[in-house]
Amino acid sequence: MKIIKIGGTALSNLSNIIDFANSLNSSKRPILLVISAFGKLSSSLKNFNSYSFFTKNSSPFYFFREFSSVLSVQDCVEFFTYLEKVELILTKRAKGISISGELPPKVMDEILSFGELVSSFFIHCLFNSLQINNEFLDARELIKTDSTFGNAKLDLDKSIANIRNHNFSSNVIITQGFIGSDTSNNTTTMGFESSNLSATVFANAIGSSEIEIVTKVNQIYSSDPETNTVAKPISNIPYPSARVLANNGFKMLFPGMIDLAEKNNIKIVYRGINNSGITIISDSSHFDYPVILATSFGYIISPINSVNAIYVLTHFDSKITEFNYIRFNNSLLIKSKEISPEELHDFAISLF
């Protein structure tokens, strides 16, 4: 089974959603889709505690009323029946928050889960309208965690067992990332960007050798291409280097997913929604450009070989207070408050 995880920013407008849906017709089946909350929906829900009262006019799901124009009449009714149930729950939660003045983490996780659930249910209804036979699967039934609301720890063994025991009824499965449930079936979330971890768990359980992660940008870059016009697209990143980046806050990766992927030799392929380029994370030792990542202590450059690491250290010698080169994962850690991200990026990239 092919595993495709698509990020919410890639599904921020109706045109992208339609293009993605149509592209599935030419994809090899069976497919399991892990859907993230559309656009900035998660951010809107995260600020839910600021609402004094919840109404349809102030609903964070307002844009679905415009998106529904692409649904058939029957699927439109099905979708809004589902959405109205969600909005009813949110109305009750808003009243409770208004009365108590508190928003417990357990309630916040329930609220945040609706971003993934409503977005994936919309894709389910859209596929039905396009006559793409599919199954809507609530990930909370399979993905199990502890009860640390807001940052729940995955119970990998239980989750894998649940997935393997599930009877998939269609060759297109639509589910969610980010969310799970504890032993009492309370909704939990595993941290923002954890949808990639969810996809890796499904791949591991099903025995897939590859995960395809579809993003707003074409692939992984040496820095954010939206703010740095000279950022370079990266073709390959070895598992050890990807782990360093994930563990230090690189947003396109999630701690834990790399360990699971490497252990089971699952190749992770990042691509843009327009298919113009890819980045592969795998057991290959080959790499081209590094990622230059700003951290609380300075910078991480990874992957980078020892020769180029020496060039960087020599060039910025007077501005570096401490450094560490780790050969195993081809990573250079620099402690500095004087080097600007732009000058470090441009010099490091010039070496390749």
Would you write out the chain's pLDDT as a tens digit for each of its 352 residues? 999 999 888 998 999 999 898 888 777 889 999 999 999 899 889 887 655 556 656 788 989 989 999 999 999 999 999 999 999 998 888 888 888 888 999 999 999 999 999 999 999 999 999 999 999 999 999 999 999 999 999 999 999 999 999 999 899 999 999 999 999 999 999 998 899 999 999 999 999 999 999 998 889 999 999 889 999 999 999 999 999 999 999 989 998 999 999 999 999 999 988 777 899 999 999 999 999 999 999 999 999 999 999 999 999 999 999 999 999 999 999 999 999 999 999 999 999 9
Return the CA Rg of the chain.
21
pLDDT score recorded for residue 260 = 96
Q: Please choose, from the candidates 124, 117, 122, the residue with its C-alpha nearest in 3D space to the C-alpha of residue 173.
A: 124
The whole-angstrom separation of Cα 291 and Cα 293 is 6
Cα angle for residues 24, 26, 30 (degrees, 5° grid): 65
Q: How far is C-alpha 115 from the geometric centre of its chain's CA atoms? A: 13
Pairing relation of β-strands 267-272 and 210-215? parallel
What the block records as the tokens of 43 is 């951010």
Give residue 6's pLDDT: 95
Q: Residue 267 in contact with residue 275, Cβ under 8 Å?
A: no
